[in-house]
Each structure stands twice: as structure tokens, then as C-alpha cells.
Amino acid sequence: MDHQAAGTRKDRGAVKADEVKVDLIAVVVAVNDSEPCVLTIGQADTLPSGPFALEHRSPQSGLRGWVEQQTGHPLGYIEQLYTFADRDRIGAARQQRVISISYLALTRKEQAAGSPKCGWQSWYEYFPWEDHRSGTPPVVLDVLRPRLIEWADGASDAATRRERRQRAAIAFGFDDRHWNEELTLQRYELVYEAGLVQEAGSRRDATPPPLVAGKFMVADHRRIVATSIARLRSKIKYRPVVFELMPPVFTLLQLQRTVEALSGRLINKPNFRRLIEQQELVEKTGETTAETGGRPAQLYRFRHAILDERPVAGTKLPLTRA
């Protein structure tokens, strides 16, 4: 009997060593002075997170609690982003499977107050190749392109060399292809696979990366942020989520600058204004502001009735092609 009990205790210990852990991770986004920012905690560049516990009513309520506890920032708009459960995730212990349920949260500038516990970082610090508002970033042509070509040509067979070159061309707009702002995750995964980001050095089969492109984040948090950027860049085209980032009243120029900040692309001003008005996404407040520096600008607010009138309503971006 005692021998059986000992065996049972041993089995339980084995299960514990190979346990599954569930984490909740938040990508909290705000646009501050035309810069899209993510909320980080601690001295390192870490996203707010915490374990999903038995006392949590739901993963979403658990996440809200962890974010407010760690940052002092209550969450408003939130949606589930993705579940990361790869066995070989960066930072995961060998004896433990870590499942991370990630969420995208949007907040307004006036609510994005700083705290000693946290800070706001421009997401372009982590992804410098994603901001094309002033044209193609030098890091794309001067650094990433030659390194990606070198990586592609280093493949052992011709088929892999062609496949790698094609992936790089599609993702980064090489060889006269157009830049697709929604391929953020594909671009990050490509530079990771090529060993051009610091996180690549964390792989068990990796050698130290020859190049560090963009600011480092712990574990695979930069991949999670890349996923959120891709989601948001796509979603603003068919749902009016951009207004979750806007103050209650705003000018059309402020709205345009926010959309440009998120997409990393310039927008044709007359076309943008015409499309916004045609889609009836906003309505005039009857007030003006002189804060723009020129003649008084009309103030607008989001027309919430659009959510009931049309199931699909986005900004239909008239992007300027570089």
C-alpha cells in the first residue's frame, strides 16, 4: 500500500514538471503626438501580463486586473488577439508548456498618463522598418535588404534560395513591389528567421545574431506586438476602431495624423476627408479650435449611430504609395 502511494506521488510530480501554464498578455496601444505607442512595464521592455488563475471569472477579467495592478491603467476597449502556444517559444522552459492568450487594448491619449510602474514606447522603436511616413526607412534599403539577400543566397539549394528571395521581396517591397503595411508579422518573422534581431540568439540552434534590428523585447513579446500592429492596420480599414484612440472631439487633421501613425503611411488629405464624410463616420460639433496654428478648424465627433446602421465601417484609407 505504501509502495503504491509512493508511486502515485511520483506520478503526480512528473505531471507537475511537465505542466501547462496559461499567461494573459496585453498589448495596450495609444497614439501620443502622432506616435503609436505600446505600454510596457519594469526596467525591461515587457508587456503587462500575469497568469490566468482559478479566481479569475474569465481570461479577459483576469487580464484587466493584472494590467491595472501592474500599471495603474484601467482598460477600456479590448479584444482577443491570438493564442501563442508553440512548443519552442522564446523564453519557455524546457519542462513547461506556456500558453499565452494575448489581447489588444486601445486607449486615448488623455487616459494614457504615465506611471512610475510603466512607460509608453513608440512601436517604431521595436520595428524601425515599419514607419514609411517619410519614405522608405534607411534601415530597409541600407541594412535589411543586403542582409536578407545574403541570408537567401546562403541557402544550400536553389529552390530555397528562390523561396527566400521571393518572401523578402513580397514582405519588404523589394524589386519594385508595393509595400503592404499589413504584413508586419511576416516581416518580423522573416528577420527573426534570418537571425537579424536579438531574439534570434535565444533559439537553441542559433548563433549570436550578426545584426540587431530594432529594440529588443523580452521573450517573444516583440512577436506579439507585431501581431497586434498587423491586426490594427487591417481592422481600421473595415471597423471604426480608430475612434477608440481619439479624444471625444477632434479635427479631421488630427484624425488623419492618427490613421497615418498607425498605418505608417501618408494619406492623401482631400481624398481622406471626402471618404470620411461620405461614410458618415463623423459629425460636426458646431465648434472650432485655433490650436492647429492656422485658421480655426472645425471640431468633429464620432457618430456612434454608424455602428447600428452598417456592419462594416472603416476608414477606407486612400494611402499614398511611396
Element (H, E) at 299: strand 297-302
pLDDT at 48: 95
Distance set, CA 173 to CA 10, 24, 135, 187, 238 (Å):
56, 34, 12, 10, 24
- With 60 as the cut, is the pLDDT of residue 37 above it? yes
Task: Give the pLDDT score at 1.
Answer: 45
* Gap between the terminal Cα atoms of the chain: 76
Tell which residue, 169, 240, 192, has the closest CA to residue 90: 192
Closest CA to 213 of 128, 107, 299, 149: 128
Exposed, middle or buried by CB within 10 Å (0-12, 13-18, 19+), for 108?
middle
Average pLDDT of the residues of the chain? 85
Beta bridge partners of 283: 301
Mean pLDDT within 28-35: 94
- Band (pLDDT 50/70/90 cuts) for residue 266 is very high
Domains 17-124 and 237-309 share a fold: no
457618430: which residue's cell?
303
Of 216, 295, 282, residue with least CA distance to 249:
282
CATH, domain range 237-309: 1.10.10.10
Instruction: Tell me the Cα Rg of the chain.
Output: 23
Kindly give the interhelix angle for 184-193 and 158-172, rounded to the nearest 10 degrees.
140
Residue 114: predicted pLDDT: 55
| Least confidently predicted of 39-48, 120-129, 236-245, 291-300 | 291-300
CATH superfamily of 17-124: Nucleoside Triphosphate Pyrophosphohydrolase (3.90.79.10)
Predicted pLDDT at 18 = 60
Q: What is the pLDDT of residues 276-300, one digit of tens each?
A: 888 888 999 999 988 766 788 999 9
Domain regions of the chain by residue span: 17-124, 133-213, 237-309
pLDDT exceeds cutoff 70 at 206: no
pLDDT of residue 280: 86
Alpha-carbon span 211 to 289, nearest angstrom: 47
Lowest pLDDT segment from 89-98, 106-115, 171-180, 237-246: 89-98
Helices (H), the chain: 2-17, 59-71, 123-126, 138, 145-153, 158-172, 184-193, 221-235, 252-263, 269-278, 306-309
Of 95 and 44, the one with more pLDDT: 44
